[in-house]
Amino acid sequence: MWQILLYVAWLSCVYCYQTWLPVENSEVRKDGIKGTYRVDVDIPANDWINVTKFYDVLIFNTGHWWDRYKFPKDTPLVFYKGGKPIEPPLDMHNGLKVVLKSIASYIEREVPRKTLKLWRTQSPRHFYGGEWDHNGSCVSDRRLEEHELNSWFDPQFGGVNKEARTVNLAIQEALAGTEIQLLNLTYMSEFRADAHPAIWLGKKDAVAVYGQDCMHWCLPGVPDTWVDILAAQIMHHFKQEKG
């Protein structure tokens, strides 16, 4: 049997102690900053250290963890290298780019060549008319048309759903020249504005409290297709390897 590990890079901070993952640092500072979250761009997360040689397939992704809602101005991310804050300080996106490059080079260095390494691109969101906390909605049974996609997702239009393609660009840059293959599921998912839980959240008042959910997916649904594609890609790889 193949050993497969789905690794969600940068999970929440709840489980982490150091490293690529943000860690809370609660010194109070003068400049209106209540606390910072430290990210050591050059130290792998603990969970990584012993897995690099064991698995036949490693799958990475970037999740939706780094955003301005989790790390607002008064509790920012601060990026460290060699144990010292990077100067001048990096903003979240530039910090992410440095961390992605650091992860990619760690993988190239530490993971055996025969391991299949995939990086899943971002899962797009479909908030229409505003962010999740500004009445953004996705009650729709209509798929987007191809000619609509850029206006929804292209960062140059500055819409609320621009994150996926923005992060994908950083991923693409970080993986250039490595053996890590992209598992590009973003484009096919961009069409599916109709496939999120929206107001059908199962809990009373959930929409009033959290807004509509235009980020996660209904199941059965889009992620099942991702799994089919992933399975095909894994089979293809190992068939080729056998010759």
Ligand X SMILES: *[C@@H]1O[C@H](CO)[C@@H](O)[C@H](O)[C@H]1NC(C)=O
> Could you list the residues that contact ligand X (CB under 6 A)?
46, 49-50, 121, 134-135, 168, 172, 182, 184, 186-187
Alpha-helical runs (H) found in the chain = 46-49, 92-110, 149-153, 163-175, 186-190, 206-210, 222-242
User: Would you give the distance in Å from CA 145 to the centre of its chain?
Assistant: 25
**3-state SS, residue 7:** strand
Maximum Cα–Cα distance across the chain: 63
CB of 50 to ligand X, least distance (A): 4
Q: Which two tokens stand for residue 110?
A: 């530490």
Nearer to ligand X, 165 or 196 (CB): 165
Nearest alpha-carbon partner for 44 in 58, 56, 33, 34: 58
CB of 190 to ligand X, least distance (A): 9
Nearer to ligand X, 74 or 146 (CB): 146
CB of 220 to ligand X, least distance (A): 23
- Cβ neighbours for 164, distance < 8 A, ≥ 6 positions apart: 121, 122, 123, 124, 125, 153, 186, 190
Nearer to ligand X, 36 or 62 (CB): 62
Nearer to ligand X, 76 or 124 (CB): 124
CB of 136 to ligand X, least distance (A): 9
Residue with tokens 């621009």: 162
CB of 31 to ligand X, least distance (A): 28
Nearer to ligand X, 93 or 134 (CB): 134
